[in-house]
Structure 1
């Protein structure tokens, strides 16, 4: 049976200086609020919020600029000149490096690989007669891989949204001071996961026929739930349900299944 590492993460603690510096990137002014589990700068124009270690979203920093809406368009042109994807990537890289944010600062021996994707996303405007495509926003997403396996979940990587200038309207970034090997678990094989899922679906009352579209392995970077703060392997399985009467396509569902069955270290011992 294949084994995989369970990694322990140590979320970073943000102080007043780093919160203020991040707020300054969008010229945000507001009141600084602190609790044992979070720190935030909140104002009428937006907010910066960080989950401290022990918070369900420990290590996650969110920035929101309320002054600009993604759906708002300049009334005189009905168009928007969004910044190029390459420029947005450079801005995010500079910002995270300057403020020591993001997964790349983590140490502890675990092998992290970071890959950046960026693109201009288009919207469609309808004036009652015709539909017009326009550049709506520029999105940057940083995907993190541990030993070649992608991380998924609300505390995974970096995402940012830009409009016309270098100030993000949305930013979410997870920062860990360390990522360390915590355990090693035996992992269910894909065929076994699919077989178990189909058997469960078949055994339900009033069950509709289902098909498995695909399954992929990932590390789940979910909310902290107590104990060690870990990244554990999971299978994400896409399930297609049979269409209802009169429909051509049925609903699709993404099911998360724990991949680790038992500690390989404890078995070996």
Structure 2
């Protein structure tokens, strides 16, 4: 999932564990055959994050990614990720980002709270436009429900959790690589031990996300609206904690999210 640690996860696996993986980014790549009864999907490594936090991160990341359609209003170069500074700063015309750019810069004035609050507006038109606007924002448009829209098998999934005070992602990846080896035995024990030793001795730099400087604090009302908007995602997170987590750390991190977002279930059908 976009904004759920995918870059860190993929980098750790490819650069440090020296394994090639098929990665879906930033949109789901669910195969129709996975939806068939008794179908068996590949082994999945799936990163999740508090849906509210993920939405906020995606909103402000895309502000930097799409850039402002008006040149004199574009952010300073210091606020644009290094990878993007190597290219021409994208306008709303340059890669057909017209709708997304208009949503971020004009309709909601670079403020995630405005969009979040509109999601629970009593004005049905305002609420509908807000839902449609979420659907224009890369990394935010697809929910956990969208990503897991198939007959997923918990025994064939490894779940990573991006959550403050949780186990760091590199350590989670390392655990998952042992899980993957135990299931597949893709090489001999000695060769795997050397691979694991190489990964263990690789330096793990601290990552600071490039969108942090652009973020505004989310309003309390916006937070509550997003909790309701993503209620189904929180229900799926509970399922993942109960069935797919392979470690106590994974379960604990998801339980922390659910406790923080228990407002999502207020007023829900019993």
Structure number with higher relative contact order (C-alpha < 8 Å, ≥ 6 residues apart): 2
Name the larger-Rg structure.
1
- State the TM-score, normalized to the length of structure 1: 0.23
More helix by share: 2
TM-score, normalised by the number of residues in structure 2: 0.22
